[in-house]
Amino acid sequence: MARSLGELAARVGGEVVGDPARRVEGIRTLDEAESADLSFLTSARYLEAARTSRAGAILVGRRTEGLAADQLVVTDPARALAELLDWLYPEPAAVAGVDPTAVIGAGAEIHASAHVGPYAVIGARARVGLGAVVHAHVVVGEECEIGDGAVLHPHVVLYRRVRVGARSVVHAGAVLGADGFGYATQGGEHTKIPQVGDVEIGREVEIGALSAVDRALLGSTSVGDGTKIDNLVQVGHNVRIGRGAILCGQAGIAGSARLDDGVVLAGQSGVAGHLTVGRDVRVASKSAVYESVEAGTTVAGIPAVAIGAWRRQQALVHRLQELWRRLRALERRVGGAARDGEEGP
C-alpha cells in the first residue's frame, strides 16, 4: 500500500527535504528504483549511484547535495531502513493451531496460540510457548523448550533438551544439539565420547540456514541473548557465546572456546578450542585465532595477530620481490668484491 513520504518520515523520526506528499509505493535499491520508490544511501561509496538513481526519494543520513530525488533525512539510515522494511513488508502471521499431519509426542505442551505446521514432529515432554511458530517438517526433540514468539523455519532439527529463547529465529536446515565432535583415540582407533549435555539458545537470537550448534559433552553449549549467527556457521560443543555477538558466514568455533559479549567473527574465520575471545573483539575474515584475545582488540591473519601488526606483515609481503632483487644485487656486488680481493697480490 502506498504511503506518503511524510508518513514514512513520521514513522522513523526523520525530516523530508522536498515534497512530503510524494507517494511511495515500495523500497528498492538505487539501481532498480523508479519514481514511485524510496531508495537508500547508507554508505558514501554509493553517492554517485544515488546521484544517477531514478528513485523518487532517497533515505539519507544527512542532507546531500546533488541528488535529484526528494530526501528523507534520519540519524541512522540503516536502522531506519530496517524499521521501514518491517513496517511496509510484514511477515504473514502464522495461524494458531496444530496441523493434522503433525506428530505430537506424549506429554508435549503446545500453547493454544502457537502454530505447528504440516508434518512437524514435537517430541515427548517438549514445550512450545505462546505465539511460537514451528513450520513444516521441523523436528523438535524430547524435552525441548521453544520460547514465546520463537520461530523455527522448515527442516530445522532440534535434538533432545535444546532450549530456544523467546523471539529467537532459527532458519531452514539448522541443526541444534547434534553430538559434539569428541573421540578418544588409541592405537589408531577412535572411541566416541558420549555427549550428554545440552544446548541453551538465548532470547532474540537469530541462527542462519544450515548452521549447527553442537550439544555439550557435559553442561551446556550456550548462545547469549541478541547474538546473530549467519548461514553455515559451526559452533562446537561446550562453546559459550555472550550477548550481542555476530558470527558471519562459514565461521567456526572449536569446542570449549568462550566468546564474550559483542564479539564479531567475520566470514570464514575460526577460533581454536579452549580459548577466550574478549568482549568486543573483532576477528577479520579468513583469520584463525590460536591464542586468547584481550577485550577490544581487532585481529587478523593466520595465526591471528593485532590488526596493526598484520597490516605491517602484509606490507612486507608485497615488498618481498623487490627486497629479494635488492638482496641478490647486494650479494653479487659483495661476491664480486671478494673475488677481486682474492685475485690481488
Residues involved in catalysis: 237
CA distances from 119 to 92, 93, 155, 208, 314 (A): 20, 19, 10, 22, 53
d(CA 99, CA 122) in angstroms, rounded, equals 12
Q: Are 162 and 141 in contact (CB under 8 A)?
A: yes
Q: Are 128 and 110 in contact (CB under 8 A)?
A: yes
Residue 284 burial by Cβ neighbours in a 10 Å radius (0-12, 13-18, 19+): middle
d(CA 152, CA 177) in angstroms, rounded, equals 14
- Beta strands at 189-192 and 183-186: parallel, antiparallel or unpaired: antiparallel
d(CA 86, CA 216) in angstroms, rounded, equals 36
